[in-house]
Structure 1
Amino acid sequence: MDDQTRIELEAAAFRRLQQHLMEDRPDVQNIDMMNLAGFCRNCLSRWYQEAANARGIDMTKEEGREVFYGMPYEDWKSQNQTEASPEKQAKFEKSFKENVLKDKS
């Protein structure tokens, strides 16, 4: 397989993942994804932003989120996010340290 085809297939897989998370399963909470898999929609939007920045494209965290979510993040939260239990929040703190902060060191 040539590089261009590989890139196109990877992009198609990313778009399908984005569609699945945003349209097919907006009920799945970011905190549950993070606690189970070590990443969530915010991580995907951050990785998108970081890839843009690495290529010299100025993009803020909020701009990356808006691209990924298809709307301002605050709108997404108000439409889809539910309150997390103290147990989920504690598990999230551990997962965030192990996965997100580790990525930045």
Structure 2
Amino acid sequence: MTEPRSDRADPLDMLPDAVAAAAFRRLVRHLRHRHDAQNIELMGLAGFCRNCLADWILDAGYDGDKGAARELIHGMPMDQWKATRQSEATAEQLERMQASVAKNAPDLR
């Protein structure tokens, strides 16, 4: 796989904000529906999870705090999510997550 060229504009930046926002909302709603896809599994496969999305909206200027951002993404308070949706992570899941996160570029903005 080749790295994207840094001297060229990223076509993603040309995507209209309304289109990007609609796609983001669809992704979040999909993740809410697929609560069987655990955050630890998302981290192990893709290096990000629902909590990352909450952090990213904070980084993008969301006015709420971390708890409000997570509630927005999860569709419920974090305590409720953990009690009803989150299972205990296995050692294998944690290992896979650490390896996956190590592959993340330092800054994908």
Length-normalised TM-score, structure 1: 0.76
**How many equivalent residue pairs?**
94
Q: What is the CA-CA distance between 1:94 and the residue it aligns to?
A: 3.6
Residue 10 (structure 1) aligns with: 20
Q: Would you tell me which structure has more helix in proportion to its own residues? A: 1
Partner residue, 1:38: 47
Q: Distance in 1 between matches of 2:67 and 2:61?
A: 13
Q: Which moved more, 1:79-88 or 1:8-17?
A: 79-88
Query: Partner of 1:16: helix, strand, or coil?
Result: helix
**Sequence identity of aligned pairs in percent?**
45
Q: What stretches of structure 2 of length at least 5 have no aligned partner?
A: 1-12
Q: CA deviation at 1:73?
A: 0.9
**Aligned with 1:52: secondary structure?**
coil
* Residue identity matched to 1:90: E
Q: Where does residue 57 of structure 2 map in the other structure?
A: 48
- Aligned residue in 1 for 2:95: 90
SS in 2 for 1:22: helix
